[in-house]
Amino acid sequence: MSETAIQVRPGLEVRRRRWNRASYRRKVIPWLFVLPVLLINLLVVLGPTLAAVYYSMTDWSGIGAADFVGLANYRQLFFEDDSFKTAFVHNLMWMAMFLTVPIAMGLLGASLLAPIKRGALFFRMALFIPYVLPSVVVAHLWSSLIHPDRGVVGWLNERGVSGMDVAFLGRESTVLPTIAFIDNWRWWGFLMVLFLAGMQNIPPDLYEAARLDGANRWQEFRDVTLPGIRPILVFMILMTGIWSFLTFDLIWIITQGGPAGASEVLSVLVFKNAFQNFEAGYAAALGITMSLFVGFILSIFVVLRRRGWEI
């Protein structure tokens, strides 16, 4: 920005005595076009992010003055706060689940859908629909469906199906996998459509060649399809790693982290500390720690790429 500011005032430099229309047009106008969006982003994202770095080193409550406390928040976070450790482990479990189940389902759906013609558009659209629904609808729909007295679970229980007399969202051992299941319900269709787009770009000759070599369905999938969609697959694995640290909506809406913290993840902790416990400084430290994990995952990706992995 500073360089344009200098160029707007040409009289300051003798050498640049001739301020002509052409260079105004070349250098200033392009910046005028990006300026509004840039200013809004500075105000909404960058400014508050820098403020968060500062507040993470204070005991700020969110209102009034903040005392500088150095790294005390981080010390408390890493060495004293058990809820942080629990939430972090939950994030890892969430990541493990999202790196496997939805990716497998997306690959399965896409590889079944890629070769067919009749009804392909219908299936693609229908399987994508859950992804466009708002979290609140997904959350309340599934909370009702798996409610032990009503819904599918209650219905199965009445008919004597074993293991269905359970409040899946009310027990510490089942709550997190259950919400992950619900989140996956709306998520995997999105992955499927992404993978499908990748598979449709694989040249059909490769499949023909594989079939001439006598490859069966599995070999075709392993040797033609997977390598063919590798860029998008790797990219989605990366994004899944990142998003699994940021997941919030469904968990917050369904359980708010309960029962007894059994579904608490980092984002829920930030929200609780900021808006319920009024520990804004501590919440900022949590938010920064979360972002550092995300940065860590991204940097693994970048390092692997630098080392020549084709990802």
Query: Which residues ranging from 278 to 307 are in contact with another protein (CB under 8 A)?
Result: 280, 283-284, 286-288, 290-291, 294, 298
**Distance in angstroms (rounded) separating the CA atoms of residues 250 and 58:** 31
User: For 168-248, where are the alpha helices, taking DSSP H only?
Assistant: 175-200, 204-212, 217-220, 226-228, 230-246
Neighbouring residues of 149: CB distance < 8 A, sequence distance ≥ 6: none
Minimum distance of another protein from residue 137's CB (angstroms): 5
Does residue number 8 form part of the binding site for another protein (CB under 8 A)?
no
Residues 222-251 that bind another protein (CB under 8 A): 232, 235-236, 239, 242, 245-246, 248-249
Does residue number 275 form part of the binding site for another protein (CB under 8 A)?
yes
Among 8, 13, 16, 45, binds another protein (CB under 8 A): 45
Residues 11-30 that bind another protein (CB under 8 A): 25-27, 29-30
**Distance in angstroms (rounded) separating the CA atoms of residues 207 and 202:** 9
Among 152, 164, 226, 304, binds another protein (CB under 8 A): 152
> Which residue shows structure tokens 């609140």?
136
| Residue 236 contacts residue 243 (beta carbons within 8 Å) | no
**Distance in angstroms (rounded) separating the CA atoms of residues 18 and 16:** 6
| Residue 181 contacts residue 138 (beta carbons within 8 Å) | no
| Residue 118 contacts residue 201 (beta carbons within 8 Å) | no
Among 14, 67, 132, 310, binds another protein (CB under 8 A): 132
Residues 78-97 that bind another protein (CB under 8 A): none
Among 150, 171, 230, 305, binds another protein (CB under 8 A): 150
Residue 18 pairs in a beta bridge with none
**Number of residues in contact with another protein under rule CB under 8 A:** 106
* Dihedral pair phi/psi, residue 237, rounded to 5°: -65, -45
Minimum distance of another protein from residue 265's CB (angstroms): 10
Among 5, 14, 65, 116, binds another protein (CB under 8 A): 116
Minimum distance of another protein from residue 96's CB (angstroms): 20
Q: Looking at beta carbons only, is 262 or 287 nearer to another protein? A: 287
Query: One symbol per residue from 174 to 213: x for binding another protein (CB under 8 A), - otherwise; what is it?
Result: -----------x---xx--xx--x--xxxxx--xx--xx-
213 class by beta-carbon count within 10 Å (0-12 exposed, 13-18 middle, 19+ buried): exposed
Minimum distance of another protein from residue 81's CB (angstroms): 16
Neighbours of 33 (CB within 10 A): 9
Minimum distance of another protein from residue 70's CB (angstroms): 19
Q: Looking at beta carbons only, is 155 or 296 nearer to another protein? A: 155
Among 6, 9, 47, 171, binds another protein (CB under 8 A): 47
**Distance in angstroms (rounded) separating the CA atoms of residues 263 and 256:** 8
Among 84, 98, 142, 301, binds another protein (CB under 8 A): 142
The dihedral of CA 15, 21, 25, 28: what is its sign?
positive
